[in-house]
Chains A and B, each alone.
Chain A
Amino acid sequence: MSEGIGARVLRKEDKRFITGKGRYTDDIVEDNQAYAAFVRSPHAHARIVSIDTTAAMKMEGVETVLMGPELVADGIGNIICGWGVTSKDGSPMNMGAWSALATEKVRYVGDAVAIVVADTKSLAKLAAESVVVTYEELPVVVGSVEALEKGAPQLHDNAPGNLIFDWEIGDLAPTDAALAAAAHVTELDITNNRLAPNPMEPRSAIATFNEAEDHYTLYTTSQNPHVARLVLSAFYNVAPEHKLRVIAPDVGGGFGSKIYIYPEEIACLWAAMKSGRSIKWTSDRTEAFLTDAHGRDHVSKAKIGFDKDGMIVGLKVETKANLGAYMSLFSSAVPTYLYATLLSGQYNIANIYCNVQAVYTNTVPVDAYRGAGRPEACYVIERIMETAAREMGVDPSELRAKNFVTSFPHQTPVIMAYDSGDFAANQKQAQDAADVAGFAVRKSEAATRGKLRGLGYSNYIEACGIAPSAAVGSLGAGVGLWESAEVRVNPVGTIEILTGSHSHGQGHETTFAQIVAERFDLPTENIQIVHGDTDKVQFGMGTYGSRSGAVGMSAIVKAMDKVEAKVKKIAAHVLEAGEDDIVIEGGAVKVAGTDKQMLWHEVGLAAYTAHNIPEGMEPGLKESAFYDPTNFTFPAGCYICEVEVDPETGVTEVVQFVASDDFGTIINPMIVEGQVHGGIAQGIGQAMFENVVYDDAGQQLSASYMDYTMPRADDLPNYSVHHSSTTCPGNPLGMKGCGEAGAIGSPPAVINAITDAIGNNNLSMPATPAAVWTALQDVSIKLAAE
């Protein structure tokens, strides 16, 4: 079947996106719609002394101004963190209260203090500016290391020393012993820079309360509308679950930042009820920098030991994770269970120990951003492997290869049980594609042009398809991470797939249709994917953690199994044959080896007319399923980056980037390549360009594109993307997931290449021209001194 699994079907959704006909939240206009603007704190840390709304309330066209104390009095709950992490001493995490509108204190620049509702957007902004808030400024701390120091400013009373938790995994004593006995030990200080997610579409919401029906509707930019509804009702008490419809229409990118339920959505729903108006709020780009959850921000010390043959004997990592001013929805899981559990990398490591201290600071809350914890883990292990190889004077790819896990399943010392993979095959494929053998020649040719050429590897592994509900439950998750689907075959044979996954750039309308086309041998144009509406889809846990393929599609497969069984029963009954003899092919349901058949739509019709179906069978042809995975999936691969550095300016050009990925079964290679391209662009972005910078007062110095460097087309190479796959044994399609791999695997490859080129390993991300030039000066100063 030309449109089935493995076909490069063009994206069905692109017609509306490319012609500007997408329907995003801000495109939607409700009757009686007003606009919200937020009064935000200009200080990173301050006590609210008083708020004067008189001027705003007097303005013609201002509906209402609402503040924190009233929100609390109305019983609107504090914002939750959905994953409890326990400190090594057994104590629960110290979670400070986060009210959607601040009550006593503000803790980061942008913290919402009041919501202003007015007839027009511009009036709402004007009125918000006229609200006079008197603050008593408090001392500020922005870095995780500084926040843990004695005497640092305190953010939350119940988090002494700003420590949220002090968590560990693995065994300390054996790891220390292994490192003490090692023939060679490499140590590295590693910073993983803070990133702003920057989806193309900023966050937006429209909240409506229909008093006559006692019913709420929220349009919002969400990666998981059902989770939003659940949390909004169960924890924030803005509306009961059965009286709240959440719709996430077309959503222009998320990268994790649209998983969470932010203060703005809560405040808009509440204010809609209070004011009787539909309320729209759309973030502008500055607000996005100031309020969308940031990513990464780890400071780590790592130590790895090898025996005399170059086999790893132990790995010890200490990490300080900056979680910002408040704990966002999955913030606790990111630097723990999504991070330290991947520190074994692709290697056999008998002893691993990791300690993570999570810290409050006067910065934007930090949560999952494309890769979420796994890029941080990959960066630690792949930077230190490359560094160790250089110190020991061995080929970095050989050092990796001799330590590869080669038999599966493989239980690491840090929870994960790898189920499949062929790491050597990925490395070989990447090396061949990159012509590693010819590197020395290319390096000397570059030298004749005055350029320093370097090559770096990254052999990543990650865990996605999150996740087995019981497993994550035992680790502290407040939710199950299954997925649900419904397959509706209409009386005319066309099919609707209702999925709990949410597409915000991933191309689900195409790939999900492909697996249905494959199964029932139908054209994809007969298949419609429905998602993003809690009134249509039965339930869903949404899209993040590269789970829509491995978990979301598996739910569809389970539902299709049930449909297929019923189709065969009906056909066997009508055609008077045995169920086992029925086959589905070429748009028909046939008795194998005969010319007896029903056309596909005739089965649909038979099911709905119910004139002639087996006795006792319910009419209709619609099945639903919930699928709970049995394990994480483990995409892995080998990335090779080659750079040229201009030593006069520090400008680095990525001249070659090769990826060899193992994603298991690939439904649509074109879409998968697109995901890899985008992921690598974000990874190169982190490695060379992007950085959220705060000054000591907690002001973001990089809160616009004049200072926050997004990677652009001319900064990026033509990627050479390859696949060498092993089938995932954990799910029916054998898929591993591809959404985050590029962003996870690429940063260490880039930094390993640049440090190779400049001969100085002391280089932090982002490797801007100034940073690279400065590192080069340090090399020349050292050389001069020798």
Chain B
Amino acid sequence: MYETNFHKASTAQDAAALLAKSDDGKILAGGQTLIPTMKQRLAAPSDLIDLSQVSALRGITITKRKKMGIMKAEGGETITIGAMTTHSEVAGDAELVKVCPVICQLAGNIGDPAVRHRGTIGGSVANNDPAADYPAALLALGATIHTNAREIAAADYFKGMFATALTDDEIITAVSFQAPAVAGYGKFPNPASRYAMAGVFVAKSVEGDVRVAVTGAGDNGVYRHAGLEAALSADWSAASVEAVEVSADGLMSDLHGNAAYRANLIKVMTKRALA
């Protein structure tokens, strides 16, 4: 690891100020991606600005949606997850599991216990690893990414492999989304890294919009699959998925599997996401 200057931020504004002041500073969240990258000498930030003490960035709030005075039971609640909330906190949240169990399940299958206890949703979304799980969820759920400067719709946020709409000194503060009417996530873990080789998040909003987002398989990061969305909009069933031709074009080939295999996985994982 190259030498670096370490700062502890107390608030998001404080962090933003430190970041702006630094030469080539980086936010440190759970460190599960950044620290290994630094240890391999592939990253050499001049400064690390640690968010672990910023308590305002941590936690989950659920706002119930009221409709004509009656609480709607089947989805629609607004869920806001602070950027520094760890995967294990998301996985184990007793209230969240009642309104959006799939996000808890997704978080509970990221990496291993050590990674889940340190890794954060903000770090994952900022990093936008092409095989990470959260990007598929946020894209399919039509989520909003909140930063210290603005709000960005997920559709405008994910810009391909490791690329996002964040500007250099922008800090993610939270993500929010509406609990879906129905949703599911099928993940096929890479045998070595256990990131997604193909992860498919299917969601139907309370308004009836269907989105299908695929991670791990595309050759340029997370994306929505039009064919699967059309099929599931018409008929939310495994049988309708079966009829979709998933092309291998634009999918990744690597030592773990070629594009044809990944195309197959997308279909199988979509069916399993519905189960």
Contacts and interface: CB of A to CB of B under 8 A. Distances in A.
Interface of A: 122, 125-126, 129, 286, 648-650, 689, 691, 693, 701-702, 705-710, 768-770, 773-774
Contacts of A649: 188, 264-265, 268
B258 A770 contact: yes
B261 A705 contact: no
Which 8 residue pairs spanning A and B have beta carbons closest together?
A: A770-B257, A709-B192, A706-B193, A770-B261, A709-B191, A648-B268, A693-B255, A707-B192
Contacts of A129: 41
Nearest to B264: A773
Contacts, number: 48
Contacts of A706: 192-193
A691 B3 CA distance: 34
A770 B1 contact: no
23 contacts: A122-B1, A125-B41, A286-B40, A648-B268, A649-B265, A650-B261, A691-B255, A701-B254, A701-B255, A702-B192, A705-B193, A706-B192, A706-B193, A707-B256, A710-B192, A768-B191, A768-B256, A768-B257, A769-B257, A770-B256, A770-B261, A773-B261, A774-B261
Contacts of A122: 1-3
Contacts of B2: 122, 126
Interface of B: 1-3, 40-41, 188, 191-193, 254-258, 261, 264-265, 268
A702 B255 contact: yes
Between A286, A691, A770, the greatest number of chain B beta carbons within 10 A of the residue's beta carbon is seen for A770
B6 to A, nearest CB: 15
A289 to B, nearest CB: 12
Contacts of B255: 691, 693, 701-702, 707
Contacts of A650: 261
B169 to A, nearest CB: 28
Nearest to B191: A709
B133 to A, nearest CB: 16
B191 A689 contact: yes
Contacts of A768: 191, 256-257
Given A649-B264, A774-B261, 11 more contacts: A122-B3, A126-B2, A286-B40, A650-B261, A693-B255, A768-B257, A769-B188, A769-B261, A770-B256, A770-B257, A773-B261
Contacts of B41: 125, 129
Nearest to B195: A706
A773 B267 CA distance: 14
A648 B264 CA distance: 8
A707 B257 contact: no
Between B1, B41, B191, B256, the greatest number of chain A beta carbons within 10 A of the residue's beta carbon is seen for B191
Between B41, B192, B257, the greatest number of chain A beta carbons within 10 A of the residue's beta carbon is seen for B192
A125 B191 CA distance: 32
Contacts of B193: 705-707
A180 B223 CA distance: 59
A705 B192 contact: yes
B260 to A, nearest CB: 8
A152 B150 CA distance: 59
A119 to B, nearest CB: 14
A773 B265 CA distance: 10
Between A689, A702, A705, A769, the greatest number of chain B beta carbons within 10 A of the residue's beta carbon is seen for A769
Contacts of A774: 261
Contacts of B256: 707, 768, 770
Contacts of B254: 701
Nearest to B39: A284
A298 B3 CA distance: 44
A116 to B, nearest CB: 15
A198 B41 CA distance: 21
Contacts of A689: 191-192
Contacts of B268: 648-649
B271 to A, nearest CB: 8
Contact of B191 (A126, A648, A693, A769): A769
Contacts of A773: 261, 264
A395 B258 CA distance: 36
A770 B268 CA distance: 13
A764 B193 CA distance: 22
A126 B191 CA distance: 34
A9 B188 CA distance: 43
A648 to B, nearest CB: 5
A649 B3 CA distance: 45
Nearest to A709: B192
Contacts of B261: 650, 769-770, 773-774
B30 to A, nearest CB: 17
B111 to A, nearest CB: 11
A648 B263 CA distance: 12
A522 B206 CA distance: 77
A648 B192 CA distance: 20
A689 B189 CA distance: 13
A781 to B, nearest CB: 12
A702 B1 CA distance: 21
Contacts of A701: 254-255
